[in-house]
C-alpha cells in the first residue's frame, strides 16, 4: 500500500511553478537546485507526501516503494527565488536500508518522516537523524516530519516529543497530513527558506 510517486514535473498549486530551464539546470543566487532525500519507516507516508506536493493528489491504493523513486518540483518564493527540489523518495522497508547512503550522500536536505500514530516509526526517525548526523553532508538541512496528523484520535506520539527532539537536534519540525494536504506545501516552503544561498546543485544520479 502507498502512494506511487514515479511522476514527471507537475505544478500542483498556484505557488508552484514549472521546471527551471532558463539557466540549464545550474544553481545560481536566484534559481536553486536542491537534492532532497526522504527517509523513514515503511508506511509512514513518504511517497504520499511527495505525491501530494508534486501533483496535489492522495492515492491510498498505490504501492510500496521499491528501492527509491525520483521526482522534481519547483517552487517560487516571495523574493522571486525559485527552488527546484530533486526529490529521492527512499523505500522504508528494512531490506532496502543498506541503499539509503546512495540517496542521502550529497543531499542538501533530508526530510525524516514518522507517523504520529506509531512510536516505532518515531524511534526509526531518530535512528535516521543519527545516521545523517554521522554520515550526511556537514551543512545538511534536516527536517523532522510527523505525518498522518489527520489521525489525531489515534495519536501515540505527542506533538511536544517531536518539537523537543527536533529542537535538540537543530532540525526544522512540522506535522503534516498527505491525506488532507495540511502543511505539505508549508513543509517545502520552510525548507526552501532555510537553504544556504546558493544551494549546492546536484544531478539526477543518486
Quick one: which of 81, 148, 175, 201 contacts ligand GTP (CB under 6 A)?
148
- Closest to ligand GTP by CB, 187 or 195: 187
The yes or no reply on residue 178 touching ligand GTP (CB under 6 A) is: yes
Name the grid cell of 136: 550526511
Region binding ligand GTP by CB under 6 A among candidate stretches 16-24, 70-78, 132-140, 172-180: 172-180
Tell me how long the chain is.
206
For ligand GTP, the closer of residues 155 and 179 by Cβ is 179
Candidates 128, 116, 98, 100; CA nearest to 43 is: 116
Name 83's bridge partners: 32, 75
Q: How far apart are CA 33 and CA 26, in angstroms?
A: 7
Q: Which residue is nearest to ligand GTP (CB)?
A: 2
Query: Which CB atom, from 33 or from 148, has the smaller least distance to ligand GTP?
Result: 148
From CA 184, how far away is CA 198, in angstroms rounded?
Answer: 24
Closer CB to ligand GTP, 18 or 60, in the complex:
60
| Number of residues lying near ligand GTP (CB under 6 A) | 24
Asked if 6 interacts with ligand GTP (CB under 6 A), we say: no
Compute the distance between CA of residue 28 and CA of residue 173 in angstroms, rounded to an integer.
27
C-alpha cell at 190: 520552510
Q: Does 44 bind ligand GTP (CB under 6 A)?
A: yes
- 128-133-139 Cα angle (round to 5): 125
Shortest Cβ 64–ligand GTP spacing (Å): 4
| 47 SS3 class | helix
Positions touching ligand GTP (CB under 6 A) are 1-3, 40, 42-48, 60, 64-65, 91-93, 147-148, 150-151, 177-179
Amino acid at each position: 500500500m502507498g502512494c506511487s510517486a514515479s511522476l514527471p514535473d507537475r505544478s500542483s498549486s498556484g505557488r508552484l511553478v514549472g521546471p527551471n530551464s532558463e539557466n540549464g539546470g545550474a544553481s545560481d543566487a536566484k534559481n536553486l537546485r536542491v537534492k532532497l532525500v526522504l527517509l523513514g519507516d515503511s508506511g509512514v507516508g513518504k511517497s504520499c507526501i511527495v505525491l501530494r506536493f508534486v501533483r496535489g493528489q492522495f492515492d491510498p491504493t498505490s504501492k510500496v516503494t521499491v528501492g527509491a523513486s525520483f521526482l522534481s518540483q519547483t517552487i517560487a518564493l516571495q523574493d522571486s527565488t525559485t527552488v527546484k527540489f530533486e526529490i529521492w523518495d527512499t523505500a522504508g522497508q528494512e531490506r532496502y536500508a543498506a541503499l539509503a547512503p546512495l540517496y542521502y550522500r550529497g543531499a542538501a536536505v533530508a526530510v525524516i518522516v514518522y507517523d504520529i500514530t506509531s512510536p516505532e516509526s518515531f524511534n526509526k526517525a531518530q535512528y535516521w537523524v543519527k545516521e545523517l548526523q554521522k554520515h550526511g553532508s556537514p551543512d545538511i538541512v534536516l527536517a523532522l516530519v510527523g505525518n498522518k496528523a489527520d489521525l489525531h484520535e489515534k495519536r501515540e506520539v505527542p506533538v511536544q516529543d517531536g518539537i523537543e527532539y527536533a529542537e535538540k537536534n537543530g532540525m526544522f519540525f512540522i506535522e503534516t497530513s498527505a491525506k488532507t494536504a495540511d502543511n505539505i506545501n508549508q513543509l517545502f516552503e520552510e525548507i526552501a527558506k532555510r537553504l544556504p544561498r546558493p544551494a549546492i546543485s546536484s544531478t539526477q544520479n543518486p
